[in-house]
Amino acid sequence: MMSLRDLATAGLDGFDAKKDSVQGNSGIPFGKYTAVIENTIHKVSKNRFEYFQVTYSVLEGEQIGRKEFQMITLDETKKDGTPVSDFVLTTNIKFVAKLGALMGVEITDDDFADENVTDLYEHLAQKFRGHEGTVVILDIHPGKNKKDPSNPYRNYDLQETEQPGELDVTDDELPSNINSDEQANLNSLDSQASNVAAKMDALDPDPFANNATTAATDDTNLPFD
């Protein structure tokens, strides 16, 4: 049995006391959000249940700043020893592969070769490490919960989106794309500048030549060998 402190730690993880209902799931509402992937880690709960966790932080809208913690399980058996369905495992494998594609991490079937689930989660955590910060469209949608219909499961999907620092500039926005009048003005200014320079050279090619006070420097008088 969990202590009151353990229940508080688990119950307040990700809970927004101002916005979340005290009944049911404390995650952000179902919907699509622009979010950044903050981390991908191997997580172990208080009761030693292991999983691969992805943490998202919402970047826009009413839920800005709120976090969503996604739990991905790849264990082939449940706590009671019964097998996890192939459908669930395949879905989770595909999600990890999609996560990798969006974060620039290549995921293949070899990444799921570890039979020990602890080693598997640790391998994935290490492979994703250093690729955090990717911005995605996070789609959280309800899944049917037959045991408790009032508390639907949270299903996830991801979509690619523009990353910070990526500029979508058209040719029309480039500084070099100017109209004919602007180009004519620039040519006129260049011509005037050339004429002024030519007149100055004609008056005195080097107006400071006769006032030189420093001897020319060659290889023989440099301050080093």
Tokens for 31?
A: 């919907």
**Any domain includes 112:** yes
Higher pLDDT, 128 or 197: 128
What's the CA gap between 95 and 87, in Å, rounded? 12
**Any domain includes 143:** yes
Mean pLDDT across the stretch 5-25?
63
What's the CA gap between 215 and 36, in Å, rounded? 64
Q: What is the pLDDT of residues 20-73, one digit of tens each?
A: 655 545 579 999 999 999 999 999 988 889 999 999 999 999 999 999 999 999
Alpha helices (runs of H) in 104-205, residue ranges in sequence order = 117-128, 180-203
Tokens for 221?
A: 């008088």
**102, 136 contact by CB (below 8 A):** yes
Work out how many domains the chain is built from and give that number.
1
Higher pLDDT, 154 or 176: 154
Q: Which residues of 21-37 are buried (b: 16+ CB within 10 A; e: fewer)?
A: eeeeebbbeeeebbbbb
The closest alpha carbon to 134, from 103, 105, 109, 100, belongs to 103
pLDDT of residue 106: 97
To the nearest whole percent, how much of the chain has pLDDT over 70?
A: 64
**Angle 86-103/117-128 helices, nearest 10 degrees?**
20
Bridge pairing between strands 31-44 and 153-160: unpaired
Mean pLDDT across the stretch 126-150?
95
Q: Which residue has the tokens 């003005």?
A: 185
Mean pLDDT across the stretch 64-85?
94
**Any domain includes 26:** yes
Least confident range of 85-94, 157-166, 182-191: 182-191
Binned at pLDDT 50, 70 and 90, residue 111 comes out as very high
Residue 86 belongs to domain spanning: 21-160
Query: What pTM, to 2 d.p., does this model score?
Result: 0.64
Q: What is the pLDDT of residues 172-204, one digit of tens each?
A: 655 555 455 655 655 665 666 565 455 545 544
